[in-house]
A and B are shown apart, each in its own frame.
Chain A
Amino acid sequence: MEIARGVIPLTPVSSRSSREGGRGGSGGNTPADSIFDQVLPNAVVARSSELFALGRKSSLWTLSFGLACCAIEMMSTHMSHHDLDRFGVVTWPSPRQSDVMIVAGTVVKKMAEPIKLLYEQMPDPKWVIAMGSCATNGGPYYRSYSVVMGVDHLIPVDVYVPGCPPRPEALMYGIMQLQEKISEDARARGEASKA
């Protein structure tokens, strides 16, 4: 029963700091001044699935998995100018600790098996973003003998980002859509279990 366990009492921050002996004095950014103490109660009631979804969507680790040209734009998105870190998105080299797979580039038949393997290596829950027209439907290579016409022939895709290559802003929007989808899904699941 998810709802029964949904109340999470948070220890008041002020009491904790006094119990630990505090940092002495009241200079600087003392936790007691926290705005949350003033406006929010120190307990939040939420459905656990939604709470977990909140955590998941705010810290998406993407599998750094560049396939082709789109990967360069994906790297641009991660780097200094566009700074994807501010969405909590961190790129991670191993599938074992990643939540999101951004398929950035052309999926070739020779690469199909490794992609499936990588997807299966990722722990649940996992999401897939198909970045660029190649990963969506073959893109400019739709007449090629060796290209898979869209990564959705291999693995389920949650968000498609169109473009060739999509601009960094487009990828960011795709990620925001995915975040929305994660919380929407959790809410819908909660509604379903209540009914």
Chain B
Amino acid sequence: MQFQQQPAQQADSLDLMVNMGPQHPSTHGVFRLVIWIDGERIVRAEPHIGYLHRGSEKLCEGEQYGQIITLFDRLDYVSNLNCELAFCLTVEKLMGLEVPDRASCIRVVLCELNRIASHMLFYGVFGLDAGAMTPILYGFRERERVQSLFERVTGARMMHNYIRVGGVKEDLPSDFAERLGELTALLRAGIDECDELLTNNELFLSRTKGVGAIGGSEGVDYGLSGPSLRAAGVAEDVRVSEPYSIYDRFDYGIPVGTYGDCFDRYYVRMEEMRQSLRIVDQAMEQMEPGPVSAKVRRIARPPKGEAYLRTESPRGDFGVYLVSDGSDKPYRVKVRAPSFANLQALQRLLRGAYVADAVVILGSIDIVLGEVDR
């Protein structure tokens, strides 16, 4: 099978402009894409963002550190706990704070579950983009299971505000281990079922294999990260290359693709869910009773200075740059959102592709507009 894309013919006089969005069911939110097509091929694509620009970074400057966690929840609203973790770790790094071991284990367990929930949403929506209606129902079934466990722990289905500076809000409920055991068994079976349902489907394969391919070094140049970069054959995972929290303690694999096409991007995520379950199991084994929060003042006041920390969110390299002036409010918060950087590569991915594949390619990089626009 050929995985190369034919270069587009350069015809400028007869190009047809097609506008998609900002309200379009396949743009995963409010995102506008303008493409110029020549026959069936896309010659140029221009994404327009900013339809969800809420000014979160500016708002952070007016809130105390504890209050900002709620704003981070709402950045990448599909993997809320991962965003909370990134912010809290950055503040802790600036303060030089040691987090109790139990708190770190709890964080890891919940973040990896959140990664599965996020990939399950991707799985469903990507199936829908490729023209399959059923996967989304299965994907949401699994997601719902994870969410009900989160609700038991944090009290909320989506916006948890559970990870705090110095630890977590409170200890796990007493029946957590039991419930988690049930959940992981269900998830294991569920992931396999989802995998079987879609991965070997002939239609799905021909819509995704060889579509929207990008090479590894080019991907790095565009700032791709996370599953989208790993699909292109670059074994880069922040959990391994710059370990944060306690990720250096676990044994897990990093799935890496070969061709960097839509199918690889999809399958890397499917494999990642299995690896996440391995991490969850190990973290549960290592969890010892103990305190769940370090001794911190109610209102955190990090010293003057700056810190940058990156974490591996389900979409890639989620970085937080924090500048403090010693008061209870940060001087500047900058979020390096993985979807933002990944979306830049869309122009390159779409060039030369068939117009019918545009939606599949957009779906395969799995953007969340909340963090693209911030």
Residue of A63, A93, A146 with most chain B CB atoms under a 10 A cut-off: A146
- Name A81's closest neighbour in chain B (CB-CB): B144
> Closest CB of chain A to B280's CB: distance in Å?
22
> Closest CB of chain B to A185's CB: distance in Å?
27
Interface size range of chain A in the complex? 20 to 34
Let me know if A79 and B71 touch, CB within 8 A.
no
Task: Tell me the complex Cα distance, A169–B369, Å.
Answer: 25
Q: Does B245 contact A (CB under 8 A)?
A: no
- Report chain B residues within 8 Å CB of A147: 54-55
Q: Which of B96-104, B133-141, B199-207, B217-225 contacts A (4 or more CB under 8 A)?
A: B133-141
- Report chain B residues within 8 Å CB of A145: 55, 58
- Report chain A residues within 8 Å CB of B59: 141, 143-144
Let me know if A144 and B29 touch, CB within 8 A.
no
- Name B51's closest neighbour in chain A (CB-CB): A111
Instruction: Give chain B interface residues in 282-339, CB to chain A under 8 Å.
Output: none
- Report chain A residues within 8 Å CB of B50: 108, 110
Let me know if A164 and B77 touch, CB within 8 A.
no
Query: Known: A69-B370, A93-B25. Is A146-B140 also a contact (CB below 8 A)?
Result: no
> Closest CB of chain A to B325's CB: distance in Å?
20
> Closest CB of chain B to A123's CB: distance in Å?
16
Q: Does B132 contact A (CB under 8 A)?
A: no
- Report chain A residues within 8 Å CB of B5: none
Let me know if A79 and B140 touch, CB within 8 A.
yes
- Name A109's closest neighbour in chain B (CB-CB): B53
Interface size range of chain B in the complex? 35 or more
Let me know if B369 and A68 touch, CB within 8 A.
yes
The one of B29, B54, B141 in contact with A146, judged by C-beta atoms closer than 8 angstroms, is B54
Task: Tell me the complex Cα distance, A140–B137, Å.
Answer: 31
The one of A68, A76, A95 in contact with B52, judged by C-beta atoms closer than 8 angstroms, is A68
- Report chain A residues within 8 Å CB of B143: 76
The one of B56, B140, B370 in contact with A81, judged by C-beta atoms closer than 8 angstroms, is B140
Let me know if A141 and B55 touch, CB within 8 A.
yes
- Report chain A residues within 8 Å CB of B144: 76, 79-81
Task: Tell me the complex Cα distance, A114–B159, Å.
Answer: 28
- Report chain A residues within 8 Å CB of B159: 69, 164-165
- Report chain B residues within 8 Å CB of A167: 157
- Report chain A residues within 8 Å CB of B62: 143
Task: Tell me the complex Cα distance, A147–B74, Å.
Answer: 14
Q: Does B277 contact A (CB under 8 A)?
A: no
- Report chain B residues within 8 Å CB of A61: none
Let me know if A141 and B54 touch, CB within 8 A.
yes
A-B CB contacts (within 8 Å), total count = 96
Mask of B22-39 contacts with A, CB within 8 angstroms, 1/0: 111100011000000000
Q: Does A65 contact B (CB under 8 A)?
A: yes
Task: Tell me the complex Cα distance, A110–B138, Å.
Answer: 35
The one of A71, A79, A114, A141 in contact with B29, judged by C-beta atoms closer than 8 angstroms, is A71
Task: Tell me the complex Cα distance, A27–B17, Å.
Answer: 59
Task: Tell me the complex Cα distance, A81–B56, Å.
Answer: 32
Let me know if B29 and A66 touch, CB within 8 A.
yes
- Report chain B residues within 8 Å CB of A164: 159
Q: Does B78 contact A (CB under 8 A)?
A: yes
Q: Does B275 contact A (CB under 8 A)?
A: no
> Closest CB of chain A to B331's CB: distance in Å?
17
Q: Does A136 contact B (CB under 8 A)?
A: no
- Report chain A residues within 8 Å CB of B53: 108, 110, 146
- Report chain B residues within 8 Å CB of A110: 50-51, 53
Instruction: Give chain B interface residues in 47-87, CB to chain A under 8 Å.
Output: 50-56, 58-59, 62, 70-71, 74, 77-78
Task: Tell me the complex Cα distance, A70–B242, Å.
Answer: 33
Q: Does B158 contact A (CB under 8 A)?
A: yes
The one of B51, B58, B158 in contact with A108, judged by C-beta atoms closer than 8 angstroms, is B51
25 pairs from A and B in contact (CB 8 Å cutoff): A68-B52, A68-B74, A68-B77, A69-B74, A69-B77, A69-B370, A72-B78, A72-B158, A76-B147, A79-B124, A80-B137, A80-B138, A81-B141, A93-B24, A108-B50, A108-B52, A111-B30, A114-B22, A114-B51, A140-B70, A140-B74, A141-B56, A145-B58, A146-B54, A165-B157
Which positions in A face B, CB cutoff 8 Å?
63-69, 71-73, 75-76, 79-81, 93, 95, 105-106, 108, 110-111, 114, 118, 140-141, 143-147, 164-165, 167
Beyond known contacts A69-B370, A79-B136, A110-B51: 16 more, CB 8 A cutoff: A65-B23, A67-B30, A68-B77, A71-B29, A72-B121, A75-B140, A80-B140, A106-B54, A111-B22, A114-B23, A143-B59, A144-B56, A144-B58, A145-B55, A165-B158, A165-B159
Which positions in B face A, CB cutoff 8 Å?
22-25, 29-30, 50-56, 58-59, 62, 70-71, 74, 77-78, 121, 124, 136-138, 140-141, 143-144, 147, 157-159, 369-370, 373
